[in-house]
Amino acid sequence: MIISKGTLCYGSVAGTYNFYYPDLQNELVLDMTIEAESMPWVKYDRYEAVRVTSPENFLPYKILWIRTKPV
């Protein structure tokens, strides 16, 4: 999947049972378009976990959380 420049996203924080959760205290706005793949995890509220695949090491996070589109 392609995540466009300007997208609001969140990094991850370890929580209960060491599961990853969105770090809603620290918003990130992408300053370039990135490629990512969806993670097969349960969504958290309205957020979906994605793994950044390109460019590598662009962000200090490997897993980002993006808001899913409303149904």
Q: What is the pLDDT of residues 11-60, one digit of tens each?
A: 999 988 988 899 999 899 999 999 999 999 888 889 999 999 999 888 88
52: β partners: 36
How many folded domains does the chain comprise?
A: 1
Domain that holds residue 38: 2-67
Q: What is the pLDDT of residues 5-18, one digit of tens each?
A: 999 999 999 988 98
In this structure, what token pair is assigned to residue 67?
């808001």
